Amino acid sequence: MTDIEELEAQVSDLPNEKLAIFRDWFYQFEDELWDKKIAADFRAGKLNHLIEKARLELSQGKAREI
């Protein structure tokens, strides 16, 4: 059995209360990973083209500040 299969089996066996706790933890864990990825992409300049496009559209009246 692979590590993933073992995890799946363990999660499948959790009672509802513990599954809810695990689900909340996992969502938070995923959110933190996403935030780190976005921050790293920003620092690396990978979002610069999107920022420039948004600034251009804002200056042309095609977008508005939120």
Domain count, the chain: 1
Residue 2 falls inside a structural domain: no
Residue 7 falls inside a structural domain: no
CA distances from residue 48 to 12, 27, 65 in whole angstroms, order as listed? 42, 28, 18
Residue 5 falls inside a structural domain: no
Per-residue pLDDT, 20: 98
Q: Can you give the three-state secondary structure of 51-65, one letter per residue?
A: HHHHHHHHHCCCCCC
Instruction: Give the pLDDT confidence of 3-62 residue by residue, as tens digits.
Output: 999 999 999 999 999 999 999 999 999 999 999 999 999 999 999 999 999 999 999 999
Per-residue pLDDT, 66: 82
CB 22 within 8 A of CB 12: no
How far apart (Å, rounded) are the C-alpha atoms in residues 19 and 11?
7
Report yes or no on whether pTM surpasses 0.95: no
Sequence-distant (6+) residues with CB within 8 A of 9 are: 1
Per-residue pLDDT, 19: 98
**Which residues span the domain enclosing 58?**
16-66
Residue 47 falls inside a structural domain: yes
